[in-house]
């Protein structure tokens, strides 16, 4: 009698879920991201034909290779990574606060990261690592203050929003004071950075941001079960055996690190963290299981708006100006839709 052949060991369900999510993300996100890359390189200031673009990717002697690899690709990849960070952070904060209008800007975390980066620029330190560290420190400090004012582990979503609005207003005043005290040259640099720009993108900006995002997105996927829990009422979460305060605190730290990592490199890019989760929910058809879908939508938003800025406008403004303008139009559309007869009470 032949010995029974051992059954192949199946991957744990969490590993299979993560692999499936990554595969779906690649399949669903590649097409629009590739379209925005092609639009950015083949139209506008680059004007590279599709055939020349193909040769530039694989032929080291191609004359267009400098434009593609030195100017185009770093800008595109930086925009995509920043969009991933902002989209994921927006989904986290909207879920934590149970408020569809919550975003890092509203909660003060983006302003805290901006304050740290402005202080680094005022100190005359232009090293990317120092600026990034100051932005992360500013975002975490703002989050600590907001969370403390809201009640710490007993913080409710409503108190988080109110505390965040207050800290955001105070930090806006601090940032304005820092700009008034700076000389003209430093002020111009800071104002260009505050508009959210990809104009100075270079390859050395990518490794640190990419590594940070890889670690944080992997953490989000590993904790996808608790992502659904924090959307529930605290009493129900406690009944299920979880601690809502600790779960909320962990997700807030993750969201702050995401937005601080992006803000340190590109400056505060408006609207993406607010809109990406809404668009992802409409495409997904309901609630979100994890922040991955909003992250992909955020990448498409930033790269798409940068392509619009390069091709549809007479000058090439910072991408944050374009996303802010489109954000206002998007909110106006939601407002008009909410006023229609028969519309749901919450159009968001």
Sequence spans of domains, the chain: 79-338
Higher pLDDT: 306 or 29? It is 306
Alpha helices in the chain (DSSP H): 13-42, 50-58, 65-66, 73-97, 104-107, 109-122, 128-149, 157-181, 184-194, 206-222, 224-229, 234-239, 244-266, 272-284, 292-311, 319-338
Q: What is the overall mean pLDDT for the chain? A: 78
Higher pLDDT: 182 or 221? It is 221
What's the rounded mean pLDDT across residues 78-98? 90
Tens-digit pLDDT profile for residues 165-188: 888 889 889 888 888 877 777 777
| Cβ atoms < 10 Å from Cβ of 239 | 10
Question: What pLDDT is attached to residue 347?
Answer: 47
What's the rounded mean pLDDT across residues 246-263? 86
Cα distances from 175 to residues 64, 261, 348, in angstroms, run 41, 19, 31
Higher pLDDT: 331 or 153? It is 331
What's the rounded mean pLDDT across residues 244-251? 79
Tens-digit pLDDT profile for residues 263-305: 888 888 988 998 888 888 887 777 777 788 889 889 989 988 8
Question: What pLDDT is attached to residue 1?
Answer: 46
Fold (topology level) of 79-338: ABC transporter involved in vitamin B12 uptake, BtuC (1.10.3470)
pLDDT band at 345 (very low <50, low <70, confident <90, very high): very low
Higher pLDDT: 86 or 42? It is 86
**Is 70 exceeded by the pLDDT of residue 111?**
yes
Cα separation, 114 vs 282, whole angstroms: 31
Cα distances from 263 to residues 13, 53, 153, in angstroms, run 35, 30, 27
pLDDT band at 331 (very low <50, low <70, confident <90, very high): confident
């Amino acid at each position: 009698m032949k010995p029974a052949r051992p059954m192949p060991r199946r991957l744990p369900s969490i590993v299979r879920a993560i692999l499936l999510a990554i595969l779906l993300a690649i399949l669903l996100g590649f097409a629009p991201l590739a379209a925005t890359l092609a639009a950015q390189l083949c139209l506008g200031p680059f004007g590279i034909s599709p055939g020349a673009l193909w040769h530039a990717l694989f032929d080291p002697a191609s004359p267009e290779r400098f434009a593609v690899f030195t100017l185009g690709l770093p800008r595109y990849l930086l925009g995509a990574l920043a969009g991933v960070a902002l989209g994921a952070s927006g989904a986290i904060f909207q879920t934590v606060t149970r408020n569809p209008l919550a975003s890092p800007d509203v909660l003060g975390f983006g302003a805290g990261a901006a304050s740290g980066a402005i202080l680094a620029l005022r100190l005359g330190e232009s090293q990317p690592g120092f600026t990034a560290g100051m932005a992360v420190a500013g975002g975490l400090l703002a989050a600590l203050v907001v969370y403390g004012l809201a009640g710490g582990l007993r913080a409710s979503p409503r108190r988080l929003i109110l505390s965040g609005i207050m800290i955001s207003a105070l930090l806006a005043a601090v940032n304005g004071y820092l700009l008034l005290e700076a000389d003209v040259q430093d002020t111009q640099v800071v104002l260009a950075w505050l508009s959210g720009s990809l104009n100075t993108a270079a390859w050395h900006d990518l490794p640190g941001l990419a590594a940070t995002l890889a670690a944080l997105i992997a953490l989000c996927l590993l904790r996808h079960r608790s992502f659904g829990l924090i959307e529930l009422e605290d009493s129900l979460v406690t009944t299920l055996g979880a601690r809502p305060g600790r779960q909320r605190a962990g997700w807030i730290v993750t969201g702050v690190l995401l937005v601080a990592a992006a803000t340190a490199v590109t400056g505060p890019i408006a609207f993406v963290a607010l809109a990406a989760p809404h668009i992802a929910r409409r495409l997904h058809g309901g609630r979100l299981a994890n922040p991955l879908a909003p992250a992909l939508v955020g990448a498409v938003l930033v790269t798409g708006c940068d392509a619009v800025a390069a091709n549809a406008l007479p000058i090439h403004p910072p991408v944050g100006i374009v996303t802010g303008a489109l954000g206002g139009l998007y909110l106006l559309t939601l407002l008009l839709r909410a006023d229609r007869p028969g519309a749901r009470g919450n159009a968001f």
